[in-house]
Structure 1
Amino acid sequence: MGDRPAIREGEIALPHDPAARTDAGLVFIGRIRSPWARGNCPKNISKARAEKPDTWIELKPEFAPALAGLTVGQPVILLYWMDNARRDLVVQAPAHVDAPRGTFALRSPNRPNPIAAATVRITALDGARIGIDAIDCFDGTPLVDIKPWLETIDIPPA
């Protein structure tokens, strides 16, 4: 894994890089475009929405036909690959919580498979370019999938 950043008090890292033990392959279907980079990226999508950023998806042209049926104004779920995240932390100590927590109890990008999910609203559809209302990832982040958000499926039971 090369030079790993120091861990915070209470954190636990695996002795190996999970990326070195892959079980499957992924195809990135495009890239997310945003004004964000290390140092100015909002911590979550609600903070990103407050900034009203110019954000969009650049889909690979061969996947443009897969957008058929989506409409402007529709919410969709984006799954994206946080390619700059650590993959070895199993316990993390973020500054905003009172004690270390397991990785699966956090929305941190640092996880064995750095997949992030965000529900966004489509603001424009123009060929392989999809405008979205906001996103909380660095410019150029690889996009794994787009799924329609469906109220009958995506709202947990009471």
Structure 2
Amino acid sequence: MSYRPIGVIHSPFNEPKGVPIQPSAAKGVRGTVEVFPEYASGLKDIEGFSHIILIYHFHLVEPGKLLVRPYMDDEEHGVFATRAPSRPNPIGISIVRLTGVEGNMLQVEDIDIVDGTPLLDIKPYVPEFDIRDVERKGWLERNVHKLPEAKDDGRFVKG
């Protein structure tokens, strides 16, 4: 199995350290999504959506571990119970606001992604498909209040 990037994500963040850890903590942060020309026709009708889901490759992280200490907790958790970027398959997802389309360039807001990140796919965000009422939020229940101040501290960066 192999994937090839369909584009590259551009943001004001030059390195992982200091990046908001979720789009909801990156309100108003602007960026662009450059879709490579050979994939540009796949953008037809995307301007009709206010939000899109970006699927990307965490290209700057250490190889995945099964136990991680996530940004908003001091305890280790199984990687699949976290949103940590260092994963067996380092795939990220972010729901961002689509503010404009010019050819193969998408203007977005609420971006929490490092500049130069390889883009794997784009999907439209549709509340009727994507929102669920939940009963439990696991260990995050006691930590989700930390999100507005939480930033990447560099713990998962290659090096």
- Please indicate the TM-score interval, normalised by the length of the shorter structure: 0.7 to 0.9
Paired position in structure 2 for 1:35: 12
- For residues 85 and 70 of structure 2, the distance between their equivalents in structure 1, rounded to whole angstroms, comes to 11
Residue 30 of structure 2 contacts residue 111 of structure 2 at CA under 8 Å; is this kept in 1? no
State the Cα deviation string for residues 81-137 of structure 1 (Å, max 9, x = none): 110112231101235214210001111111011111111111010000000112111
Paired position in structure 1 for 2:23: 45
Match of 1:142 among 118, 121, 128: 118
- For residues 154 and 40 of structure 1, the distance between their equivalents in structure 2, rounded to whole angstroms, comes to 28
Q: 1:30 to 1:105 in 2, by over 3 A?
A: same
Moved beyond 2 Å, runs of 4+: 37-40
- For residues 131 and 20 of structure 2, the distance between their equivalents in structure 1, rounded to whole angstroms, comes to 25
- For residues 46 and 53 of structure 1, the distance between their equivalents in structure 2, rounded to whole angstroms, comes to 10
How is 1:1-158 mapped onto 2 (pairs within 5 angstroms)?
24-38=1-15, 39-49=17-27, 52-71=28-47, 74-156=50-132
Letter matched to residue 30 of structure 1: G
Residue 35 of structure 1 contacts residue 55 of structure 1 at CA under 8 Å; is this kept in 2? yes
- For residues 64 and 49 of structure 2, the distance between their equivalents in structure 1, rounded to whole angstroms, comes to 38
- For residues 87 and 35 of structure 2, the distance between their equivalents in structure 1, rounded to whole angstroms, comes to 25
Instruction: Please identify the structure whose Cα radius of gyration is greater.
Output: 1
- In structure 2, the gaps of 5 or more residues are 135-159
> What SS class does the counterpart of residue 89 from structure 1 fall into?
coil
State the shift of 1:73 in Å. 5.3
State the shift of 1:42 in Å. 1.8
- Corresponding pairs, count: 133
- For residues 30 and 125 of structure 2, the distance between their equivalents in structure 1, rounded to whole angstroms, comes to 22
- For residues 95 and 82 of structure 1, the distance between their equivalents in structure 2, rounded to whole angstroms, comes to 16
- In structure 1, the gaps of 5 or more residues are 1-23
The alignment yields a C-alpha RMSD, in angstroms, of 1.7
Percent of residue pairs identical: 34
Q: 1:99 to 1:145 in 2, by over 3 A?
A: same
Give the TM-score, by structure 1 length: 0.77
- For residues 72 and 86 of structure 2, the distance between their equivalents in structure 1, rounded to whole angstroms, comes to 15
Letter matched to residue 45 of structure 1: P
